[in-house]
Chains A and B, each alone.
Chain A
Amino acid sequence: MISAGVDVGSKFTKVVIMKDKKEILGTANLRTGVDHHKTAQEAFDEALKNAGIEKDDVGRIIATGFGKSSVPFADDEVSQVVAAGRGAYFVRPSTRTVIEVGAEESRGIKLKEDGSVKDFALADKCAAGAGSFVDAMARYLELPIEEFGKISLTAQGGAAMNAQCVIFAESEVVSLVHQNVPKEEISRAIHDAIADRVASIVRRVGIEDDVLVIGGLANDPGFLDSLKREIGTEVYVPDSIAPELVPAIGAALSE
């Protein structure tokens, strides 16, 4: 049977189409517009096209993500936590801790041996530890996001950011710029700050190997590097598929 997972995130909408819960036929990733409904439809159509199949070939559609209830063509919904857990287990069965960092949310999920969720923790209010933070800062430094992540790796470290909030962080960045701190150091400081916040959420569930990082920010090598340093253990990212697609995979795998 062919199933589809639609993950309507606060910034991006992802679709994954799977065959027999084993093989990925097609995917799509579009920016979430104001009209979720429309974006979901467009993303779904694009994934169908990539998979080279028709809508009627799809037996079951499951929605997840923050806008999961605005996918009228879905047969059912699944929560983000369960979808992320399932997807993570699919891409790396030895995973015990999932760290998901999307555009506005981050969470830590602890998995049992069989891939079911044992415990989870979500970011609290006023925690700016997510992707938008990176987006805003990259924009501020006038660097493309890919570049922003990369240069962090070449930094020495040592600069620190105190701000708790995206908005204030901007002015911290300004003051770092004023102090002539090089961009790579600023990038590193920002990544450290996010990793710090993400780690402090994930620590609530306890960190156990293997750790898999998913969600859009897992594309960011600077973040992964800071996170590794922060939690003191190796972290993995999915190797054959974009990390932000994992929750959509999990949705496609759901009953």
Chain B
Amino acid sequence: MAEAVEQKEYWRWPETIWVDESKNWHDAEVISCGIDLGSVSTQTVIMTDGELYAYSNLRTGSSSLDSTERALNAVLEKIGDMKREDIHYIVGTGYGRVSIPFANKTITEIACHGRGAVYIYGNTVRTILDMGGQDLKAIKVDSRGKVVNFLMNDKCAAGTGRGIEVMADLLSIPITEVGPLSLKVDEDPEPVSTTCVVFAKSEVLGLMRKGWPKEKILAAFFRAMASRVVELLERVGVEPDFAITGGISKNVGMVKRIEKMLGVKALEPKIDPQTAGAIGAALFGRALYIKSQKK
């Protein structure tokens, strides 16, 4: 039995930790925290009186408890003098929200992305597409960011972030480059016929054998994925303004194709859209804290 050589991890996307150095958190009345424990990534957001103050964006490890601890500690360390007790309210969201032991409350990622998107993009946003690690969500919100309607893909992982990671690995291209590379084709080829991640692998290998360049394969793959996404979006009905949150919003190959198929441009984010869920959670945290004080 030959050794299975571990390849370079092309799927690894860059992690970030950020603090707004211009602010002094001691001035704030309410310090709220949102933690979005996703299947692929974990974001921790600290807000001071409903304003973004600090965040981290890290990979989710195989033990989520460690992941959240790590994520929260990473932000606190970066801030320097903030301790966990200084935070008034923590809201957990995301796939693993129930396993954040120190959260005061949990709220679904759907509500949080809706709320977070309005914070990031402004209150004209009506339709949000959240493209994350394992699922897609099409969310309609009102001007406050309250969810009016939503749809989620469930049956199939095709068209999700994990799927793109698998593809990046297979083609040995860093995940941050698959998007730009896929746009280097003049015209999109026919989409791959299986959007199934597992079977797309053999289809992709087949295309490689046929001598297709990698950008063409990616184009075919993203086109197939984008059409699944658009299908989901059109089922809730796209109303402008339209915005994309979640990790795949950083993949221009997907974003451009989705925009083209929909005939609608997505708003440009001012803040890392992967943090939308955690921002929403932190905002809810603030509201809940204020409410609890009134009682």
Interface residues of A (CB under 8 A from B): 10, 12, 28-31, 34, 36, 66-67, 70, 104, 125-126, 128, 132, 135, 140-142, 145, 165-168, 170-171, 173-175, 177-178, 219, 242, 244
Contact = CB atoms under 8 A, between A and B. Distances in A.
Contacts of A171: 39, 95, 134
B199 to A, nearest CB: 6
B62 A126 contact: no
A242 B163 contact: no
B96 A178 contact: yes
Contacts of B157: 165-168
Nearest to A145: B4
B257 interface: no
B270 to A, nearest CB: 31
Contacts of A34: 172, 205, 208
Contacts, number: 79
A39 B208 CA distance: 15
Given A66-B202, A128-B198, A242-B1, 5 more contacts: A10-B201, A36-B209, A67-B205, A70-B209, A104-B198
A198 to B, nearest CB: 15
5 contacts: A125-B196, A135-B4, A167-B166, A170-B134, A244-B1
A7 B127 CA distance: 51
A175 B63 CA distance: 9
A178 B64 contact: yes
Which of B1, B5, B199 has the most CB atoms of chain A within a 10 A radius of its CB? B1
B201 A104 contact: yes
Nearest to A130: B198
Interface of B: 1-2, 4-5, 39, 60, 62-65, 95-96, 98-99, 134, 156-157, 160, 162-163, 166, 172, 194, 196-199, 201-202, 205, 208-209
B1 to A, nearest CB: 6
B62 A166 contact: no
Contacts of B160: 167
Contacts of B98: 178
A125 B194 contact: yes
A179 to B, nearest CB: 8
Which of B96, B98, B172, B198 has the most CB atoms of chain A within a 10 A radius of its CB? B198
A175 to B, nearest CB: 8
Nearest to A133: B198
Contacts of A177: 62-64
B99 A178 contact: yes
B156 A165 contact: yes
B198 A10 contact: no
Q: Which 7 A-B pairs have CB atoms at the shortest separation, nearest pair first? A: A167-B157, A178-B99, A29-B2, A171-B39, A167-B162, A30-B2, A165-B157
B261 to A, nearest CB: 23
A79 to B, nearest CB: 16
